[in-house]
């Protein structure tokens, strides 16, 4: 897991952006980075990549006797 500079993020959020603690902790790290202007554009996923993921992680089929409800 990538470590986050919580002290720096809290300083930027609470002092720089003047967020309340509740507002700060309600944000995701991505939202906070966006507010601080630190995000980079990410290209949307294409059909080929989606097909690769579908093949690598297929949906489980539900059998009649597996105990799960539909």
Output the 3-class SS for 15-69.
HHCCCCHHHHHHCCHHHHHHHCCCCCCCCCCCHHHHHHHHHHCCCCCCCCCCCCC
pLDDT at 7 over 60: yes
Higher pLDDT: 7 or 69? It is 7
pLDDT band at 53 (very low <50, low <70, confident <90, very high): very high
Q: Report the pLDDT averaged over residues 26-39.
A: 88
Mean pLDDT, rounded, of the chain: 84
pLDDT > 70: percent of the chain: 83
Dig out the tokens for 38 from the structure: 């630190």
What's the pLDDT score for residue 68?
Answer: 59
Distance in angstroms (rounded) separating the CA atoms of residues 56 and 14:
42
Q: How far apart are CA 10 and CA 13, in angstroms?
A: 5
Spans of all domains in the chain: 1-37
């Amino acid at each position: 897991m990538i470590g986050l500079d919580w002290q720096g993020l809290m300083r930027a959020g609470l002092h720089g952006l003047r967020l309340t603690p509740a507002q700060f902790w309600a944000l995701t790290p991505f939202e906070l980075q966006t507010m601080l202007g630190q995000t980079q554009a990410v290209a949307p996923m294409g059909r080929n990549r989606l097909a690769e993921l579908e093949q690598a992680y297929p949906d489980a089929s539900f059998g009649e006797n597996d105990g799960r409800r539909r």
